[in-house]
Amino acid sequence: SQQGEEDPQALSIQEGENATMNCSYKTSINNLQWYRQNSGRGLVHLILIRSNEREKHSGRLRVTLDTSKKSSSLLITASRAADTASYFCATAGGSYIPTFGRGTSLIVHP
């Protein structure tokens, strides 16, 4: 069953703005990952945050994890048109098998 659920389902912003998307999950996890998917293509791994970490950065990406609330957020700062894609969170629990949510569709207007 799908573990993570992203929110919002769709997000439309202007270039230069920040984009924030959230992920909620139900059971305990070992780590949480964020992926990007350009239209019809394979998913690309962006960042992994472990259950004992609270925040992680990678370039313009900032991920937070709140295990008490079972939620994570992905912030993309100074967004670009090339950031237009769908973003998925994936959680991995005891079996380390990543389970994906339905994704957030981000459109960045030039």
Partner 1 sequence: EAQVTQNPRYLITVTGKKLTVTCSQNMNHEYMSWYRQDPGLGLRQIYYSMNVEVTDKGDVPEGYKVSRKEKRNFPLILESPSPNQTSLYFCASSLRTYMNTEAFFGQGTRLTVV
Binding site for partner 1 (CB under 8 A): 1-2, 30-31, 33, 35, 40-45, 48, 50, 88, 90, 92, 96-103
Nearest approach in angstroms of CB 75 to partner 1 is 20
Comparing C-alpha atoms, which of 28, 34, 82 is closest to residue 56?
34
Output the CA angle 101-9-95, nearest 5 degrees: 10
**CB nearer partner 1, residue 41 or residue 109:** 41
Nearest approach in angstroms of CB 40 to partner 1 is 7
C-alpha 93 chain-centroid distance: 17
